[in-house]
């Protein structure tokens, strides 16, 4: 039962979502099988990274503003939130979240006579996404907070002089400048968030019906073949592609955020190393 490479791609390209061949490859372990299955797992990495990044962006803006607030009732909770998620390993956060979510009653929770289902929360697609969302929100909030504090004084004074206050001042002056200043650091955060998605199936969350991410399948191949020299470089290859794509998109946004500035004062994207959180 040998398959051509195209058949293999068809069989496994969407295996991570539960489509195609039900059984994972048990023999041959050809390059084609490894590339299709690991690539299929990348769907989950992109899913986690993209949604956590999008949702985290808005929460991060709110938390950064909260941390910048004068009232301690607003500031303290935001500081604690940031410390909690930045001060502990993501690995432990995943474990803890999974254990906590599993404890929710299986039958669901009664709220005002309505039964709210909770079992989906302990599944990776929801549970891990929530953890990643909160985690990236905390890291991003710290970046945005730093940017908020370094908005040029003149910009704010100019806003006051024009009579801008409250929401209008935030929307038209503070927010765009904060984004512009924070963008290089935020690009790094996005890259490392995508890297962090490889932890999902390695910590608490089990892969349902062997639907896992890229690293899950790579580990599967390594366990079967005892050969780390093929599957892990394949994951690395996919991640380098993903990183290059991200850098390109974020670079375009950065150019747009800086378009009003003279070319020599623009903020340049500079990749800084940071790893496991």
**Which residues form the interface with another protein (CB under 8 A)?**
29, 83-84, 86-93, 95-96, 99-100, 102-103, 191, 195-196, 198-199, 202, 215, 218-219, 222, 224-229, 232-233, 235-236, 239-240, 243-244, 271, 273-277
Measured from the CB atom, the residue of 173 and 212 that comes closer to another protein is: 212
Q: Determine how many CB atoms are found less than 10 A away from the CB of residue 198.
A: 20
Measured from the CB atom, the residue of 107 and 271 that comes closer to another protein is: 271
Smallest distance from the beta carbon of 71 to another protein, in angstroms? 24
How far apart CA 32 and CA 155 sit, in angstroms, is: 56
Where does 129-177 show beta strands of DSSP type E?
none
Element (H, E) at 45: helix 31-68
Smallest distance from the beta carbon of 21 to another protein, in angstroms? 20
Measured from the CB atom, the residue of 12 and 194 that comes closer to another protein is: 194
Smallest distance from the beta carbon of 168 to another protein, in angstroms? 35
Smallest distance from the beta carbon of 58 to another protein, in angstroms? 25
**Would you call 62 helix, strand, or coil by DSSP?**
helix
Measured from the CB atom, the residue of 83 and 120 that comes closer to another protein is: 83
How far apart CA 138 and CA 85 sit, in angstroms, is: 6
Measured from the CB atom, the residue of 52 and 218 that comes closer to another protein is: 218
Measured from the CB atom, the residue of 65 and 193 that comes closer to another protein is: 193
Where does 100-191 show beta strands of DSSP type E?
109-111, 114-116
Smallest distance from the beta carbon of 252 to another protein, in angstroms? 19
How far apart CA 216 and CA 202 sit, in angstroms, is: 8
Where does 158-246 show beta strands of DSSP type E?
none
How far apart CA 257 and CA 183 sit, in angstroms, is: 9
Smallest distance from the beta carbon of 157 to another protein, in angstroms? 23
CB of 11 within 8 A of CB of 21? yes
């Amino acid at each position: 039962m040998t398959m051509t490479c195209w058949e293999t791609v068809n069989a496994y390209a969407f295996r991570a979502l539960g489509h195609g061949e039900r059984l994972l490859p048990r023999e041959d372990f050809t390059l084609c099988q490894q590339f299709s299955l690991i690539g299929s797992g990348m769907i989950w990495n992109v899913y986690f990274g993209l949604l956590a990044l999008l949702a985290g962006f808005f929460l991060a803006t709110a938390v950064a503003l909260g941390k910048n607030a004068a009232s301690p009732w607003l500031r303290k909770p935001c500081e604690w939130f940031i410390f909690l998620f930045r001060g502990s390993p993501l690995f432990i956060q995943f474990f803890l979240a999974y254990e906590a979510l599993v404890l929710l009653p299986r039958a669901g929770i009664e709220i005002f006579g309505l039964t709210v289902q909770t079992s989906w929360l302990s599944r990776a697609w929801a549970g891990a996404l929530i953890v990643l969302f909160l985690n990236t929100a905390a890291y991003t909030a710290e970046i945005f907070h730093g940017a908020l504090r370094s908005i040029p004084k003149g910009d704010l004074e100019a806003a006051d002089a024009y009579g801008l206050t409250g929401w209008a001042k935030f929307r038209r002056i503070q927010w765009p400048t904060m984004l512009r200043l924070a963008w290089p650091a935020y690009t790094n955060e996005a890259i490392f968030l995508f890297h962090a998605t490889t932890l999902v199936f390695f910590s608490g969350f089990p892969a349902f019906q062997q639907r896992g991410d890229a690293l899950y399948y790579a580990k599967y191949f390594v366990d079967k073949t005892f050969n780390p020299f093929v599957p892990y470089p394949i994951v690395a290859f996919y991640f380098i592609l993903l990183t290059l794509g991200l850098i390109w998109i974020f670079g375009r946004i950065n150019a747009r955020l800086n378009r009003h500035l003279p070319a020599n004062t623009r903020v340049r994207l500079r990749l800084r190393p940071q790893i496991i959180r």
